[in-house]
Amino acid sequence: MFRNRILVLASVALAFLTCTASAADQARLERGEYLARLGNCAGCHTAPGGADYAGGLALASDYGTFVTPNITPDTTTGIGNWSADDFYNALHNGERADGSPMYPACPYPNYTHVPRDDIDAIYAYLQSVPAVEQRHGDHELGFPYRYRSLLNVWQMLYFDAGEIETDTKQSDDWNRGRELVAGLGHCDACHRARARLGATNDADDAPGAMIHGWYAPPLADPEQAGLQHMELAEAAAFLQSGKREHAAMMGPMADVVFESLQYMHDDDARAMATYLRSIPAVSVDSPLRLIRMSDNGRREAMAEGRQIYADNCAECHGDNGKGREGAPALAGNRVVTMDNPINAANMIRQGGFAAATEGNPRPHGMPPFYDLDGRDLAAVMTYIRGSWGNDAAPVTATNLER
């Protein structure tokens, strides 16, 4: 009988340990899924209409076209044979499992700042997703970028591996926010222009970068993309919902909100907002130089633009540019008044929607105005950039050519 009791107790203990281990494993998978969302891994590693994380997305760049790899646990075409150390080495050191260097089209210069525990959690999650056997073609890169061995030199010159040290003079929220912005969020991968050979420009007043025909403005300039002038709660909600009063994130940033930022936990959103608001504010010059216009030319463009606005825009945005429900104000709108006018031009030409999120469940859409030729588009933009207190430079059709 005593032996039976021992066996029963042993079985109960084993069941308890198994249950505890299972709960811990499940918690780790859930954390890995959350972190993979914050890093927007699926955004690059999922092709349109393709399986999640199976790769195949073509990324055009100044150096050619990169094709994203399959990161499902398939053992022949994915990372099923990669160990946790292999995965960490890739994200932390920019080195593939076969020892060859990775192209910085994968933002490992940012991911290197992510703690090992977080990278291991992402690895565990990716190993749990359905394996997909799917091969992809090689990158199509120009000379000399097609020679992967040259990346060893690039990494020596431009890449410093290492996690971010805690700044004991700052709050926990600030440190967590910096870790997210500089690490998993890889914000400067888009919001900073690239210097020579694709390295991120680290200057405080570095301009933004062009992404798929849109301008990702610098986060240091509150007149462009900076959050320095927002209240903390407003900034955090803006990051999660992609919307604030009379403004919404559009274009590629709407995709980032939809795929990633809307899933941020409230404490992480607050932390990210805390750090972004603390970035020293600077005025950043636009990389686009607008063509000067004579006073007479500006008056003519304003008159033409006023009529185009009345016919096409005033019904939603108001005669006074203050907007109406669902339509943002154009008066004081920094997308309208930025030195680089391309994002406002894209919205007029292409239309679009903000991201559908819990904080913005039914986003209003902007219809496209394909019928506006270059002259008309420039005229209406000159009008909205110079009306209702806006005092931005006029634009010409040449400025808007792509």
Sequence-ordered alpha helix ranges (H) in 39-83: 41-45
pLDDT for residue 20? 63
pLDDT of 208 strictly over 60: yes
DSSP of 103-147? PTTS-HHHHTTS-HHHHHHHHHHHTTSPP-----PPPEE-TTTT-
Helix axes 84-93, 116-126, angle to 10 degrees: 120
Buried residues in 9-34 as b, exposed as e (16+ CB within 10 A): eeeeeeeeeeeeeeeeeeebbebbbb
337/215 Cα distance (integer angstroms): 13
pLDDT at residue number 17 = 46
Positive or negative torsion for Cα 26, 31, 33, 36:
negative
pLDDT averaged over every residue in the chain = 92
Is 80 exceeded by the pLDDT of residue 13?
A: no
- C-beta atoms surrounding 160 within 10 Å: 7
Assess whether pLDDT exceeds 60 at residue 330.
yes
Backbone φ, ψ for residue 15 (5° rounding)? -65, -40
The average pLDDT across 135-148 equals 93
Does residue 21 have a pLDDT over 60?
no
pTM for this model (two decimals): 0.89
Model confidence band, residue 347 (pLDDT cutoffs 50, 70, 90): very high
pLDDT of residue 288: 84
High-pLDDT (> 70) share of the chain, %: 95
pLDDT band at 15 (very low <50, low <70, confident <90, very high): low
Class of domain 295-400: mainly alpha
Query: What are φ and ψ of residue 175, in 5° steps?
Result: -65, -40
Decide if pLDDT at 9 tops 60: no
Note the pLDDT of residue 212: 86
Name the token pair of 32. 């890995």
- What integer is the mean pLDDT of 314-339? 91
Q: What is the mean pLDDT of residues 322-343?
A: 90
User: What average pLDDT does the segment 352-372 reach?
Assistant: 89
pLDDT tens sequence across 48-85: 999 999 999 999 988 999 999 999 999 999 999 999 99
The yes-or-no verdict on residue 257 having pLDDT over 50 is: yes
Residue 154's pLDDT is 95
Cβ-based neighbours of 17, under 8 Å, separated by 6 or more: none
Q: Which of 395, 392, 365, 368 is nearest to 380 (CA)?
A: 395
Q: Is the pLDDT of residue 171 over 90?
A: yes
| Residues 186-197, mean pLDDT to the nearest whole number | 89
The DSSP line for 298-318 is HHHHHHHHHHHHHHHTHHHH-
pLDDT-derived band at 136, boundaries 50, 70, 90: very high
Domain positions in the chain are 23-158, 172-278, 295-400
Fold of 172-278: Cytochrome Bc1 Complex; Chain D, domain 2 (1.10.760)
3-state secondary structure of 53: coil
Residues 282-320 have pLDDT tens digits of 999 988 888 888 999 999 999 999 999 999 999 999 999
Backbone angles phi, psi at 31, to 5 degrees: -65, -40
Same fold, 172-278 and 295-400: yes
Mean pLDDT across 113-124: 97
pLDDT band at 401 (very low <50, low <70, confident <90, very high): confident
